Amino acid sequence: MYGPIRCVEDLPIGWTDRQEAGTYRLEPRNDSALFGYVVGPTSWKKFLFPPREKLWQAQKTGNGFQVEAQFPPQENTAFLGIRSCELHAIAIQDKVFTAGPFVDSHYRLRRENVLLIAVNCTQPGGACFCVSMNTGPKAAQGFDLSLTEVISASEHYFIAHTGTPKGEAILREVPHQPWDENHEKKENALMKASERQMGRALDTRGIKELLYQNAEHPQWKKVADRCLSCANCTMVCPTCFCSSVEDVTDLKGEHVDRWRSWDSCFNLEFSYIHGGSARKSTQSRYRQWMTHKLASWHDQFGTSGCVGCGRCIVWCPVGIDITKEAAIIRQAPLPQTQEGGT
Summarize as ranges the residues that interact with ligand SF4 (CB under 6 A). Answer: 227-233, 236-239, 266, 293, 306-312, 316-318, 320, 322
Report the nearest approach of ligand SF4 to the CB of residue 293 (Å).
5
Across 152-267, the runs of DSSP E, i.e. the strands, are 156-162, 243-249, 255-262
Residue 340 beta carbon to ligand SF4: minimum distance, rounded to whole angstroms: 27
Nearer to ligand SF4, 122 or 135 (CB): 135
Closest separation in Å from C-beta 91 to ligand SF4 = 12
Shortest CB 189 distance to ligand SF4, Å: 26
Whole-angstrom distance, CA of residue 121 vs CA of residue 149: 9
Coil/strand/helix, residue 118: strand
- Which C-beta is closer to ligand SF4: that of 210 or that of 309? 309
Spatial separation of the C-alpha atoms in residues 134 and 153, rounded to whole Å: 32
By the 10 Å C-beta count (0-12 exposed, 13-18 middle, 19+ buried), 91 is classed as middle
Q: At residue 2, what is the residue type?
A: Y
Q: Is the Cβ of residue 146 or residue 283 nearer to ligand SF4 in the bound state? A: 283
CA gyration radius, the chain: 22
Nearest distance from C-beta of residue 306 to ligand SF4, angstroms: 3
d(CA 127, CA 193) in angstroms, rounded, equals 16
Question: Is the CB of 120 or the CB of 291 nearer to ligand SF4?
Answer: 291
Least gap, CB of 254 to ligand SF4 (angstroms): 40
Going edge to edge, which strands form the sheet with 52-61? 64-69, 52-61, 255-262, 243-249
Which of 1, 40, 43, 51 minimizes the C-alpha distance to 242? 51
Closest separation in Å from C-beta 161 to ligand SF4: 24
For residue 69, what are the β-bridge partners?
A: 56
The span from the CA of 45 to the CA of 242, in Å, is 12
